[in-house]
């Protein structure tokens, strides 16, 4: 029974990581742009959600609006900052996007203060429910549910729509996709916007586990990047598998052997990348 | 008659010259204004600016000028570099600041060589003041504020406890101080987990505490996101509902309470400054802060250290004039006793560490605002680590 608890905890955490990172995975796979500012878009969404919730907007509505706001910011950034960047080398991507990250941190510190934001998870969600053998936090079950819905949604878009088919084609071979008349830049714009929107939404619903503060953009970046690296760049299924694996193994490790909890996760990542350098489920282009 | 007038004139000239030689005394402060610890720099600055706004920038005709340096995200080498720059180029006469222990340790050599009186505004590892005879600390040490909590817990019917501490030096200090004094009082420890600083999901740790059936949980985590996630999980996982008492240190300062929500009500903590105390000095301090930084500002242990540190600088210039040696300044400051907004403070003349009251408080909701309410005061608390380790260098 204890194992079930650990599994639930781990999956809930993994789902948040998945919602936030999936956009990063797909955009990195599509355009090979190393976007270290991804956490900043997530953070922006979280801040918007908090501001709205404190003004009396219902929690779920403000989470959705947070996604919209982060998506809009992403769209704006794609047009103004990222587009000129595609042809540049990776070092320039890293420098520019980490710079964006610092700007976001400084701006939020200036406008919203440097202390972490108040909790916004509403009372109806932030309570214990009986799940048969014990009482368990409803909020975590909610996260698992939301994550599952999001994963299903993204899966349907990727696998069952023309847009998804084009996207997969472009990830596998961008040049070929262009040659057959797919507008890859437009695909990227849409994916980037969608990814940022998901990240903003994820940061908003996950704020109960990952508290929002200006340093959010960097604090969790390493986890988002692990999801991308372990899952395989550009792979939707890979990022889901990687996020859940990180959540469950990280949680189990900390529960069973807390004295090693810190590096068990990194050991796992190390091993996985040795075994599959391109990630768990890489798209065909990388295989 | 003529002679007297001449002497008078000469005296006036000399006096006038002395008056005209108003000097600028520079006080350099090294603190984080960016990065994850930016809240510290902001709080130092608000309270020091408030002090200067209230008391004026002049002491006996000499201007006190504060020079700020942002050492960013806890970069100890930068801290040293700024100290050198402030001493050599800016010609400061006093240094201050230092949020994290490594930041303070990094300047020990520099300030010893240059005999620079240096006021530590936070860095709380016990040993720091032994690293240079020019350090003086106005903040606290972790054993100083946590020891009373361990003793209180054992004395007040708590028989078993669990600790969760961040896995870095201050966390170890806090864990040791709590465990040692709790066990000395007859308490029994059921577990001591150390949590890596990178961890943000505390569910598995809280689950372990819940399973252990301990009566109380002592937590130590860097104030900010980690401690907030920790306390929220404590409540969300039903530890509070299961009757486990939550004990903490600086994690539940009033400034952070809104981030927790009502889950934090009932948390017991021990700290050297309670924001809600009704001493006249504290009321004046909070008013000065509001005048400077706006009605929403809430003081914390950084603010109080900035305020008292600035007071020491003013007192030193008032007593010694604008020119003094490092030895004179340190000798003067460590002999000071004074009614601070936190309560009476003085300094250990040998260790140059602050001696102050430690308050045990409980989080309550008053008029819709979450505050800490004192219920026990331990008077004149010293740093116990120094007494336990008389020869450690």
Nearest-neighbour CA in chain A from B290: distance (Å): 16
Inside any domain, residue B132: yes
Token pair of B332, please? 């003067």
CA-based nearest residue in chain A for residue B298:
A115
Q: What is the pLDDT of residue B10?
A: 57
Domain co-membership, B258 together with B201: yes
SS3 content of chain A, % helix, strand, coil (to 5): 75, 0, 25
Inside any domain, residue B214: yes
Inside any domain, residue B239: yes
Span B318-358, pLDDT tens digits: 999 999 999 999 999 999 999 999 999 999 999 999 999 99
pTM: 0.82
* ipTM of this predicted structure: 0.77
Q: Closest by alpha carbon to A197, among A17, A24, A11?
A: A24
Residue ranges making up the domain that contains B82 = 12-140+278-352
Count of structural domains, chain B: 2
Rounded Cα distance between A92 and A88, Å, is 6
Task: Provide Rg for chain A, Cα atoms.
Answer: 19
Instruction: Check CB contact under 8 Å for A255 and B208.
Output: yes
Inside any domain, residue B393: no
CA angle B163, B160, B271 (to 5 degrees): 50
Inside any domain, residue B183: yes
Instruction: Check CB contact under 8 Å for A119 and B196.
Output: no
| Phi-psi label, residue B238: left if phi above 0, alpha if psi -120 to 50, beta otherwise | left
Domain co-membership, B95 together with B234: no
Instruction: Check CB contact under 8 Å for B229 and A211.
Output: yes
Please give the full DSSP string across B193-209, using - where no structure is assigned. Answer: EEE-TT----HHHHHHH
Inside any domain, residue B4: no
Tell me whether A258 touches chain B (CB under 8 Å). yes
Domain co-membership, B373 together with B248: yes
Domain co-membership, B257 together with B375: yes
Domain co-membership, B197 together with B213: yes
Domain co-membership, B191 together with B227: yes
Span B136-182, pLDDT tens digits: 999 999 999 999 999 999 999 999 999 999 888 888 989 999 999 99
Rounded Cα distance between B385 and B230, Å, is 27
Domain co-membership, B43 together with B115: yes
Answer for the pair B291, B381: CB distance below 8 angstroms, yes or no: no
Q: What is the pLDDT of residue B6?
A: 59
Domain co-membership, B41 together with B183: no
Inside any domain, residue B1: no
Q: How many CB pairs under 8 A join A and B?
A: 111
Q: Closest by alpha carbon to B136, among B327, B300, B287, B354?
A: B354
Interface of A with B in 137-156 (CB under 8 A): 137, 139-140
CB atoms within 10 A of CB A157: 15
Q: What is the pLDDT of residue B36?
A: 73
* Helical spans, DSSP H, in A32-115: 38-54, 59-77, 90-112
Tell me whether A244 touches chain B (CB under 8 Å). no
What is the per-residue burial (b if ≥16 Cβ within 10 Å, else e) of A100-134?
bbeebbeebbeeebbbbbbbbbeeebbbbeeeeee
B338 sits in which H/E element: strand B338-340
Return all residues near B10 (Cβ < 8 A) that are at least 6 apart.
none
Token pair of B15, please? 């006096």
Return all residues near A184 (Cβ < 8 A) that are at least 6 apart.
A30, A170, A174, A177, A178
Among the partner-chain residues A113, A139, A251, the one whose CB lies closest to the CB of B204 is A251
Provide the mean pLDDT of chain B.
Answer: 90
- Tracing tokens 């010293």 back to the chain, one arrives at B382
Cβ neighbours of A53 in B, within 8 Å: none
Residue B73: which pLDDT band, with cuts at 50, 70 and 90? low
CATH code for the domain in which residue B63 is found = 3.40.50.2300
- Tracing tokens 């010609």 back to the chain, one arrives at B91
pLDDT tens for the 287 residues of chain A, in order: 788 888 999 999 999 999 999 888 888 887 778 889 999 999 999 999 999 999 999 999 999 999 999 999 999 999 998 888 888 888 998 999 999 999 999 899 888 877 788 878 888 888 888 888 888 899 999 999 999 999 999 999 988 999 999 988 888 888 899 999 999 889 989 999 999 999 999 999 999 888 898 889 998 898 899 999 898 888 888 899 999 998 998 888 888 888 776 678 888 889 988 998 888 887 765 54
Per-residue pLDDT, averaged over B40-66, amounts to: 95
CA angle A165, A169, A173 (to 5 degrees): 175
Instruction: Check CB contact under 8 Å for A262 and B198.
Output: yes
Tell me whether A131 touches chain B (CB under 8 Å). no
Among the partner-chain residues B225, B236, B237, the one whose CB lies closest to the CB of A219 is B225
Return all residues near A15 (Cβ < 8 A) that are at least 6 apart.
A143, A144, A146, A147, A148, A150, A151, A243, A244, A247
Domain co-membership, B219 together with B255: yes
């Amino acid at each position: 029974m204890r194992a079930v608890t650990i599994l639930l905890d781990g999956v809930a955490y993994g789902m948040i990581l998945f919602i936030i990172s999936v956009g990063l995975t797909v955009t990195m796979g599509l355009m090979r742009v190393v976007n270290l500012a991804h956490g900043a878009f997530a953070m922006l969404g979280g801040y918007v959600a908090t501001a709205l919730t404190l003004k009396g907007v219902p929690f779920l509505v403000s989470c959705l609006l947070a996604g919209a706001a982060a998506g809009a910011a992403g769209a704006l950034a794609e047009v103004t900052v990222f587009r000129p960047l595609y042809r540049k080398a990776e070092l320039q991507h890293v420098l520019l996007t980490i710079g964006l990250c610092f700007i976001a941190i400084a701006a939020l510190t200036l406008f919203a203060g440097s202390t972490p934001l108040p909790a916004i998870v509403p009372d109806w969600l932030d309570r214990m429910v009986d799940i048969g053998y014990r009482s368990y936090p409803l909020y975590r079950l909610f996260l698992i549910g939301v994550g599952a819905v999001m994963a299903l949604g993204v899966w349907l878009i990727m696998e069952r729509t023309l847009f998804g088919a084009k996207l997969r084609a472009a990830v596998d071979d961008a040049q070929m996709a262009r040659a057959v008349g797919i507008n890859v830049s437009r695909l990227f714009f849409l994916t980037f916007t969608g990814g940022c929107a998901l990240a903003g939404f994820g940061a908003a619903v996950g704020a109960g586990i990952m508290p929002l503060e200006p340093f959010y953009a960097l604090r969790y970046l390493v986890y988002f990047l692990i999801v991308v690296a372990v899952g395989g760049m550009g792979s939707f299924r890979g990022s889901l598998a990687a996020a859940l694996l990180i959540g469950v193994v990280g949680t189990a490790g900390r529960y069973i052997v807390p004295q090693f909890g810190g590096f068990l996760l990194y050991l796992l990542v190390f091993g996985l990348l040795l075994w599959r350098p391109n990630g768990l489920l890489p798209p065909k282009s990388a295989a | 008659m003529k002679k007297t007038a001449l002497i008078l004139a000469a005296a006036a000239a000399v006096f006038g010259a002395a008056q005209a030689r108003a000097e600028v005394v520079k006080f350099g402060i090294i603190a984080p204004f960016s990065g994850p610890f930016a809240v510290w720099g902001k709080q130092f600055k608000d309270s020091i600016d408030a002090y200067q706004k209230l008391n004026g920038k002049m002491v006996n005709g000499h201007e006190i000028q504060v020079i700020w340096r942002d050492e960013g995200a806890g970069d100890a080498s930068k801290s040293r570099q700024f100290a050198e720059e402030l001493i050599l180029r800016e010609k400061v006469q006093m240094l201050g600041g230092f949020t994290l222990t490594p930041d303070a340790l990094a300047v020990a050599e520099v300030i010893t060589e240059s005999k620079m009186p240096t006021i530590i505004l936070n860095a709380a590892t016990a040993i720091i003041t032994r690293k240079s005879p020019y350090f003086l600390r106005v903040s606290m040490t972790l054993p100083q504020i946590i020891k009373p909590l361990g003793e209180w817990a054992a004395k007040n019917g708590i028989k078993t406890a669990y600790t969760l501490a961040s896995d870095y030096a201050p966390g170890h200090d806090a864990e040791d101080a709590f465990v040692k004094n709790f066990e000395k009082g007859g308490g029994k420890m059921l577990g001591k987990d150390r949590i890596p600083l990178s961890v943000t999901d505390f569910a598995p740790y809280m689950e372990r505490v819940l399973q252990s059936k301990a009566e109380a949980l002592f937590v130590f985590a860097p104030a900010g996101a980690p401690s907030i996630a920790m306390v929220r999980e404590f409540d969300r996982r039903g530890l509070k509902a299961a009757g486990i008492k939550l004990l903490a240190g600086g994690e539940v300062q009033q400034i952070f309470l809104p981030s927790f929500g009502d889950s934090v009500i009932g948390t017991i903590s021990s700290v050297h400054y309670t924001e809600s105390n009704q001493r006249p000095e504290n009321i004046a301090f909070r008013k000065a802060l509001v005048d400077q930084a706006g009605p929403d500002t809430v003081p914390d242990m950084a603010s109080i250290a900035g305020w008292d540190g600035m007071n020491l600088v003013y007192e030193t210039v008032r007593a010694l004039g604008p020119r003094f040696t490092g030895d004179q300044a340190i000798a003067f400051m460590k002999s000071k006793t004074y009614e601070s907004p936190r309560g009476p403070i003085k300094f250990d003349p040998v260790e140059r560490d602050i001696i102050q009251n430690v308050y045990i408080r409980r989080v309550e909701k008053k008029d819709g605002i979450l505050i800490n309410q004192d219920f026990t005061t331990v008077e004149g608390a010293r740093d116990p680590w120094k007494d336990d380790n008389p020869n450690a260098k």
